[in-house]
Amino acid sequence: MLMSENIADKLNDQVTSELAASQLYLQMSLACEAMGLSGAGAFFRSHVAEEIQHRDRIIDYMIESDAVVNLQTIPAPEANWKSLVDMVHSAYDHEKKVTDQINSLTKAALAEDDFSTFNMLQWFVAEQREEMMLFGDVVEFMNVAGFTGDTGDQMVNMDNYLRKLSK
Compare residues 51 and 114 and give the one whose CB is closer to Fe ion.
51
Nearer to Fe ion, 16 or 35 (CB): 16
**Minimal CA–CA distance to 138: which of 43, 13, 54?**
43
Judged by CB, which is closer to Fe ion: 16, or 37?
Answer: 16
Residue nearest to Fe ion (CB): 54
Is residue 54 part of the contact set for Fe ion (CB under 5 A)?
Answer: yes
User: Under rule CB under 5 A, how many of the chain's residues touch Fe ion?
Assistant: 3
- How far apart CA 112 and CA 97 sit, in angstroms, is 23
Q: Residue 142 and residue 24: Cα distance in Å, rounded?
A: 21
User: Quick one: which H or E segment has residue 131?
Assistant: helix 115-145
96 CB-contact burial (10 Å; exposed 0-12 / middle 13-18 / buried 19+)? middle
3-state secondary structure of 69: coil
Nearer to Fe ion by Cβ, of 7 and 19: the residue is 19
Q: Which stretch binds Fe ion (CB under 5 A): 28-36, 54-62, 115-123, 133-141?
A: 54-62
- Does 45 bind Fe ion (CB under 5 A)? Our answer is no
Binding of Fe ion at residue 55 (CB under 5 A)?
Answer: no
Q: Which residues bind Fe ion (CB under 5 A)?
A: 18, 51, 54
